[in-house]
């Protein structure tokens, strides 16, 4: 079929202007395909980093044991032990699991925490807070606390507390001032404000307090273990698989961020579907363009096809000539469009540097290979109809034209 | 001489019903290997239809046709295509060359399409044929740059490329001036004498017909006369 390839190339080079126009049309379609892939992919990345980026990608929490119930034979409850108001559930063996979890591929950071509720009191001001005890030095392992600090530092330590902007304002607290924190178990600690953060999230800025793990142990009377382990991954899309791996490795109930994020996932899926529709239209445009151009070429070259058939060229040979033309147009247009798409995406900031207000184009999600492959396949499919028409040309009537 | 081809009672009807036109009405013809025959007859007599059927480009409505002992009526499209490539050459009135190819590329097309590539042997034979046609200086010329006579000589060379048993020529000189026409006929006669290739040449021109050793008359779809010239 080398000879059929030569004829296909000759036909394409015989009319360079028409071929260039056709390849340009295909390249534009591929360019749109790549642009859309980079935009939709970048947008999803941007949304995820903004919504999930500061969250734990996988969370392991201690579960309270179900209260014991004593039931007699007919099903009457004889006695029940109700849940107490103090925290009892702990991940007592956390220290054992941490190195194992840290060794799981794709795990970027692990943050053991003790969490609970409490009250901050300063003078007559009282505020309910959600307390998180973290390992000093790992305050920014999950939430980029240091990045949100507007005053002081994110570092926790003995006798220190870091509060949200709104909470600090409500209590009229300034850096270096002290505040009384009483846990839900009634234990009190006097802490000094070392840092103020502002995330822009009202729930966080108005009701969250960070202390060191040792302070939290005292407050919640938990001499060992933790209540929660938060895990950050290199790739948040790998949360489901990694959580499954951690569950298998440790037996702990590792929950990926995707559990309970159905609405976000639906929104992202809808966005991806929109991208697929637009990319499909781009491909359809390519297919129609190639098919119509080759159909015209078939019509124009009917006498030549007739001569070839008379000289002993089989129908398969003629089909191959036209399908090869389609494939070459697809390949040339695909490579040109992919190259142009890549060049057009170069000026956009990388995914790590997305800024609000700019198009979050992700050059790594251009689907260049896929775009070229789909274009070649589409162009081949588009050329089948003209090729079949060419192979059915009656040499007698064609030569007589 | 052995029989190259034989047709019996060929009938060809175009169209159906009231629009049906019967062009061949039971035509029988036998050609011996190595013959050089002229096909004479008025327009519409069925000469071109007969050449088309003999060239396996079209099947008759009824009748029998055998060439080299093979049944050309029963053969399928693929078999006929291969047979045509190996045993039959064509020369058309309007040369019908491939316009985007050079003279040499046109000539070696029948061999290249059979081999799937342009072999050195095919290139060599193509050059020899073109030189024999007096086109040594035009071998790599695009056919668009050749004169009418030169194009027709390229077409003759192409018809001879696969050393066919039969060359069918439909008014090969009808579009040429007298000098070019005679030049082409000289070449055809030379090939016929030297290589024994059978030629069947459709023509209106009695001077061209006189260059052939046999004349076959066609009128109203049947062979009416077969005058043999000395």
**A193 touches A179 (CB < 8 A):** yes
pLDDT of A400: 67
- Tally A–B CB contacts below 8 A: 62
Rounded to the nearest 5 percent, the helix, strand and coil shares of chain B are 40, 30, 35
The SS3 call for residue A226 is strand
Q: Nearest to residue A221, comparing CAs of A106, A142, A116?
A: A116
Of the spans A197-201, A222-226, B72-76, B173-177, which averages the highest pLDDT?
B72-76
Which tokens go with A297?
Answer: 């070429």
Chain B contact set for A1 (CB, 8 A): 116
- Residue carrying the six token digits 């060794």: A103
Q: What angle do CA A388, A394, A397 make, to 5 degrees?
A: 140
The answer to whether the Cβ–Cβ distance between B82 and A14 falls below 8 Å is no
Report the pLDDT averaged over residues B206-214: 88
Is the per-residue pLDDT at B62 higher than 80? yes
A18 exposure class (CB count in 10 Å sphere: 0-12, 13-18, 19+): middle
- Residue carrying the six token digits 């000395």: B230
**A313 touches A64 (CB < 8 A):** no
Picking from B78, B109, B110, the nearest residue to A314 by CB comes out as: B78
**Alpha-carbon gap, residue B6 to A263, rounded angstroms:** 82
pLDDT of B228: 45
CA A199 vs CA A148, A208, A232, A345, B61: distances in Å: 6, 11, 19, 31, 89
**Alpha-carbon gap, residue A162 to A10, rounded angstroms:** 74
The answer to whether the Cβ–Cβ distance between B58 and A3 falls below 8 Å is no
Q: Which residue of B has its CA nearest to A15?
A: B100
**Alpha-carbon gap, residue A225 to A95, rounded angstroms:** 7
Taking an 8 Å Cβ-Cβ cutoff, which residues of chain A contact chain B?
A: 1-4, 6, 10-11, 14, 303-304, 306-315, 317, 395-396, 399
Q: Nearest to residue A54, comparing CAs of A166, A205, A157?
A: A205
Picking from B97, B99, B113, the nearest residue to A3 by CB comes out as: B113
**A91 touches A62 (CB < 8 A):** yes
The answer to whether the Cβ–Cβ distance between B98 and A308 falls below 8 Å is yes
What's the ipTM?
0.88
Is the per-residue pLDDT at B172 higher than 80? yes
Chain B contact set for A3 (CB, 8 A): 112-113, 115-118
Is the per-residue pLDDT at B229 higher than 50? no
**A366 touches A38 (CB < 8 A):** yes
Cβ neighbours of B142 (radius 10 Å): 16
Reported pTM: 0.71
- Residue carrying the six token digits 């013809």: B29
The SS3 call for residue A24 is helix
**Alpha-carbon gap, residue A364 to A63, rounded angstroms:** 41
pLDDT of A136: 86
CA A392 vs CA A314, A397, A400, B88: distances in Å: 10, 11, 16, 21
HSE-CB for A174 with a 13 A CA cutoff: 0
CA distance A302 to chain B (A): 11
Picking from A2, A4, A395, the nearest residue to B57 by CB comes out as: A395
Picking from B90, B112, B118, the nearest residue to A310 by CB comes out as: B90
pLDDT of A203: 84
Q: How confident is the model at residue B226 (pLDDT cuts 50, 70, 90)?
A: low
**Alpha-carbon gap, residue A304 to A314, rounded angstroms:** 13
**Alpha-carbon gap, residue A37 to A43, rounded angstroms:** 10
A309, A312, A313: which to substitute to probe chain B, counting the most B Cβ within 10 Å?
A312
Q: Nearest to residue B223, comparing CAs of B62, B68, B25, B44?
A: B25
pLDDT of B81: 93
Per-domain boundaries in chain A: 2-51+264-400, 86-259
Which tokens go with B129?
Answer: 């044929």
Is the per-residue pLDDT at B36 higher than 90? yes
Which tokens go with A50?
Answer: 């903004």
Is the per-residue pLDDT at B220 higher than 90? no
Q: Which residue of B has its CA nearest to A11?
A: B100
Is the per-residue pLDDT at B227 higher than 60? no
Is the per-residue pLDDT at B92 higher than 90? no
B48, B80, B98, B108: which to substitute to probe chain A, counting the most A Cβ within 10 Å?
B98
Q: Nearest to residue B189, comparing CAs of B224, B170, B206, B214?
A: B214
Q: What is the DSSP letter of A228?
A: E
Q: Which residue of A has its CA nearest to B161?
A: A311
Report the pLDDT averaged over residues B70-90: 93
CA distance A328 to chain B (A): 18
pLDDT averaged per 10 residues, chain A (length 401): 90 90 89 87 80 82 66 67 56 81 90 91 88 86 86 87 92 91 90 91 89 91 88 87 90 86 82 84 84 82 88 92 91 94 87 71 85 90 88 82 51
Is the per-residue pLDDT at B34 higher than 50? yes
Q: What angle do CA A225, A229, A233 make, to 5 degrees?
A: 150
pLDDT of B87: 95
**A194 touches A162 (CB < 8 A):** yes
């Amino acid at each position: 079929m080398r000879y059929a390839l030569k004829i296909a190339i000759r036909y394409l080079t015989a009319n360079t202007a028409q071929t260039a126009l056709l390849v340009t049309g295909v390249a534009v379609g591929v360019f749109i395909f790549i642009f859309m892939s980079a935009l939709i992919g970048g947008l999803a990345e941007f949304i995820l980093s903004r919504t999930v980026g500061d969250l734990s990608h996988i969370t392991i929490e201690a579960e309270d044991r179900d209260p014991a119930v004593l039931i007699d034979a007919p099903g009457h409850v004889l006695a029940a032990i109700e849940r107490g108001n103090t925290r009892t559930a702990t991940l007592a063996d956390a220290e054992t699991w941490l190195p194992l979890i840290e060794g799981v591929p794709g795990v970027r950071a692990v943050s053991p925490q003790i969490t609970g509720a409490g009250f901050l009191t300063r003078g007559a001001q009282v505020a309910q807070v959600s307390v998180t005890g973290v390992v000093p030095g790992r305050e920014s392992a999950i939430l980029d606390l240091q990045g949100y600090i507007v005053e002081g530092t994110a570092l926790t330590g003995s006798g220190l507390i870091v509060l949200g902007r709104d909470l600090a304002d409500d209590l009229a607290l300034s850096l270096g001032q002290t505040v009384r924190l009483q846990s839900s178990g009634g234990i009190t600690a006097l802490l000094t404000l070392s840092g103020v953060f502002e995330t822009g999230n009202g729930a966080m800025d108005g009701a969250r307090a960070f202390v060191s793990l040792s302070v939290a142990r005292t407050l919640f009377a938990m001499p060992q273990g933790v209540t929660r382990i938060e895990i950050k991954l290199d790739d948040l899309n790998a949360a489901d698989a990694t959580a499954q791996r951690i569950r298998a490795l440790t037996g702990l109930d590792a929950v990926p961020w995707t559990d309970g994020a159905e609405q976000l996932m639906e929104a992202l899926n809808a966005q991806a579907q929109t991208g697929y529709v637009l990319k499909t239209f781009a491909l359809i445009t390519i297919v129609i363009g190639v098919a119509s151009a080759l159909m015209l070429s078939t019509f124009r070259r009917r006498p030549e096809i007739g001569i070839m058939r008379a000289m002993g060229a089989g129908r398969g040979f003629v089909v191959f000539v036209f399908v090869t033309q389609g494939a070459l147009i697809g390949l040339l247009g695909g490579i040109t469009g992919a190259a142009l798409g890549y060049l057009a995406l170069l000026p956009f900031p990388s995914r790590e540097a997305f800024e609000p207000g700019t198009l979050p184009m992700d050059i790594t999600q251009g689907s260049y290979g896929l775009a070229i492959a789909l274009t070649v396949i589409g162009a081949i499919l588009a050329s089948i109809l003209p090729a079949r028409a060419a192979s059915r040309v009656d040499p007698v009537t064609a030569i007589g034209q | 001489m052995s029989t190259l081809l034989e047709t019996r009672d060929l009938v060809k009807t175009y169209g159906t019903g009231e629009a049906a036109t019967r062009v061949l009405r039971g035509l029988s013809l036998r050609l011996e290997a190595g013959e050089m025959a002229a096909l004479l007859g008025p327009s519409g007599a069925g000469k071109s239809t007969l050449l088309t059927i003999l060239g396996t480009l079209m099947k008759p409505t009824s009748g029998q046709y055998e060439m080299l002992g093979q049944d050309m009526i029963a053969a399928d499209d693929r078999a006929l295509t291969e047979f045509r490539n190996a045993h039959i050459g064509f020369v058309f009135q309007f040369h019908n060359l491939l316009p985007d190819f050079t003279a040499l590329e046109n000539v070696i097309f029948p061999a290249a399409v059979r081999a799937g590539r342009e072999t050195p042997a095919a290139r060599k034979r193509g050059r020899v044929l073109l030189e024999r046609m007096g086109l040594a200086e035009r071998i790599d010329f695009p056919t668009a740059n050749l004169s009418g006579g030169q194009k027709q000589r390229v077409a003759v060379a192409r018809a001879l490329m696969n050393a066919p048993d039969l060359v069918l020529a439909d008014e090969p000189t009808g579009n040429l001036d007298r000098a070019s026409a005679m030049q082409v006929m000289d070449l055809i006669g030379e090939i016929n004498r030297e290589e024994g290739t059978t030629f069947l040449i459709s023509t209106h021109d009695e001077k061209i017909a006189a260059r052939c050793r046999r004349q076959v008359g066609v009128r109203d779809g049947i062979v009416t006369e077969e005058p043999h010239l000395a």
